[in-house]
Amino acid sequence: MKDLRQLPPSLDHWYAVATSAELRKQLLSVTLWEKDIVLFRRPTEEVRALEDRCPHRLVKLSGGSLKGDQLECPYHGWRFAADGQCLHVPGMKPDDFRYCKIQSYPVLERYGFIWIFPGRLEMATQREPIAIPEWEHLNQIGSIAPMHCAAHFSYVIENLMDMHHSHLHRASQAWSDAELERIEEDSDRVDAYYQATNYYKIDQIWSAAQLFIPALRQPHRSPLVNHYFYPHWRTTLGKDFALYCLICPVNKTQTRAWMLHFTSLEAFPALHRLPKVIRHIVKKSLTHSARPLLKKLVDEDMSMMVQEQQAYQQEPERRYWQTNRTLAAVQRVIHGQAMAYPKTD
Ligand code: FES
Ligand SMILES: [Fe+2]
């Protein structure tokens, strides 16, 4: 098997590259697996994605500006249409640059994120971004924590799929004593079914106080179900919590990601009878309430993943103990996806 920590991702999937809030009127440069991409909104608000490289001298177009519907390079002022076609070169006739075009990428805006499909064009319409039904649901309260981790994306997914690391988060009592019951595996997914002790129960209007007052927590066993929906991740803990991690592999040693946490208010039927406008206000006012806890968990995880990456770089051949068979399944999927993508050598 090829060295996992050197493998590229399969590009035939939708990748989250930025939040919608990050992309307002300005040009936004993102990197998705060694490709610099410039994002911008057309006057209609529709998002477009072009390679962030002027074909003239290969400088970044994201350092330029938007002129209506056209992107203008900062250096000599060449202009490009939203589909990448060069439309204007100062001092040249249109016929002389009619074959000048830069790459554009399929792009979607959904669930508060900008998604790019960097792979084969014909596959873009056959695949969808991971579904996040909680995003719009009025009974679900969302929080987001961004990550920028100096590690290969495989370390991020392995951390997320390995529920035996609650020790790291013991101060937050996020979960504990996870027991792996079974695993299902396919070419593009791994489902790992655990049982774990869960400390939080959302059954009273004051339940959120459990986040800050440990004495209010009610330990109980719950199913903890982890899914690697390649290339992203989803988990549910009991009925009250769902978590997602949207992965954006930057290069072999850098991964951006966003953790999304949803707390369910399904246990409060009185709330569901309120007018929609009030429910929207409740949802909006509670949004991001779990962010401090989420950020703490993310920081703890990132510190471990960065050390794993550094240890790998110091001694790539060194063997390590692998005790959770979920990770072997995850590694098979990462390997299989990389090999199935046509551009992988
Ligand atoms: S480098 Fe972009 S116009 Fe010359
Ligand atoms: Fe963790």
- Residue 208 pLDDT class (50, 70, 90 cuts): low
Cis peptide before 74 (omega within 30 of 0): no
**Do 177 and 99 lie in a common domain?**
no
Question: Do the domain assignments include residue 8?
Answer: no
Question: Do the domain assignments include residue 195?
Answer: yes
Distance 165 CA to ligand 2 centre (A): 6
Per-residue pLDDT tens digits for 253-296: 999 999 999 988 777 777 777 777 877 887 787 888 788 889 99
**Do 180 and 283 lie in a common domain?**
yes
**Residue among 59, 100, 102 whose CB has most ligand 1 atoms within 8 A, to mutate:** 59
Which residues are within 8 A (CB) of 29 and not within 5 positions of it... i.e. 6 or more apart?
Answer: 36, 37, 38, 39, 52, 60, 62
CA distances from 233 to 7, 243, 269, 330 (A): 19, 8, 30, 11
124, 149, 181 - which closes a domain? 124
**Do 204 and 95 lie in a common domain?**
no
Q: What pLDDT shows up at residue 203? A: 72
In CATH, what number is assigned to the domain containing residue 157? 3.90.380.10
Distance 258 CA to ligand 2 centre (A): 13
For residue 78, give the ligand nearest its CA: 1
**Do 119 and 161 lie in a common domain?**
no
> Does residue 117 register a pLDDT over 90?
yes
> What separation, in Å, do the N-terminal and C-terminal C-alpha atoms of the chain show?
13
Question: Do the domain assignments include residue 247?
Answer: yes
> Does residue 187 register a pLDDT over 90?
yes
84, 100, 124 - which closes a domain? 124
Amino acid at 29: S
DSSP 273: T
The side-by-side arrangement of strands in the sheet containing 176-186 is 140-149, 254-264, 241-251, 232-237, 220-229, 189-198, 176-186
Question: Do the domain assignments include residue 57?
Answer: yes
If one counts the domains in the chain, the total is: 2
Structure tokens at 62: 């994201």
**Do 257 and 316 lie in a common domain?**
yes
**What is the four-CA torsion angle of 77, 41, 144, 158, rounded to 10 degrees?**
-70
The domain of 60 spans 23-124
**Do 105 and 145 lie in a common domain?**
no
* Percentage of the chain lying above the pLDDT 90 cut: 75
Name the closest-CA residue to atom 4, ligand 1.
Answer: 76
**Do 159 and 291 lie in a common domain?**
yes
**Rounded Cα–Cα distance for residues 49 and 114 (Å):** 10
Distance 289 CA to ligand 2 centre (A): 19
**Rounded Cα–Cα distance for residues 4 and 6 (Å):** 5
Are 337 and 10 a contacting pair, CB within 8 Å?
Answer: yes
Question: Do the domain assignments include residue 4?
Answer: no
**Residue among 53, 67, 73, 86 whose CB has most ligand 1 atoms within 8 A, to mutate:** 73
**Do 42 and 168 lie in a common domain?**
no
124, 147, 177 - which closes a domain? 124
- Ramachandran region of residue 223, left (φ > 0), alpha (ψ -120 to 50) or beta? beta
Q: What pLDDT shows up at residue 26? A: 87
For residue 89, give the ligand nearest its CA: 1
Give the E-state strand segments of the chain in sequence order.
15-19, 28-32, 35-41, 47-51, 65-67, 70-72, 79-80, 86-88, 104-105, 107-110, 113-116, 140-149, 176-186, 189-198, 220-229, 232-237, 241-251, 254-264
Are 306 and 156 a contacting pair, CB within 8 Å?
Answer: no
The residue whose two tokens read 């995880």 is 301
Kindly report the average pLDDT of the chain as a whole number.
92
Question: Do the domain assignments include residue 11?
Answer: no
pTM of the model: 0.94
